[in-house]
Structure 1
């Protein structure tokens, strides 16, 4: 499993990063006192799919989103590919969204 430092520094392989994600899902589920069966029912995924995510880091993006929603972590996904903050006023003008809220 990838360490947080490996993930942050970008030295973790995609496989190790996904395994770490699965481990975090398992830890969050346990912290909430949910069984795999309960989380599977709440998220609409099968128990086998949840096991693949938790133990092997294998899942579709749709499954990850469904599980994140069921665990109350879906707002964390908003930051995944968030638009970077503007650094200069020229970037604001060039973006053409001056005065509009960023999403």
Structure 2
């Protein structure tokens, strides 16, 4: 059974190497991302200015992934994201950033 993204909760589905990976920006996930990459409001500002780094994107997505839907280790996840490309990742990033700004 595959997971389904709940858009009301700010979830997003990510297609990576033939797998559907569910991203859920839960409080715990966002705290973990913030501990790694710094304040989330700064991340949102960098994204809006076009200055979001690939490592930051990988970290945010990694911490928001639902582990049971993601068959990759972190390195494989990063490579799969790079293979997909920024154009395909941008709509997913927008969903997560909107959730960061709106909260529940």
- Compute the TM-score of the two structures, normalised by the length of structure 1: 0.32
Give 1 or 2 for the bigger CA radius of gyration.
Answer: 1
Greater strand content: 2
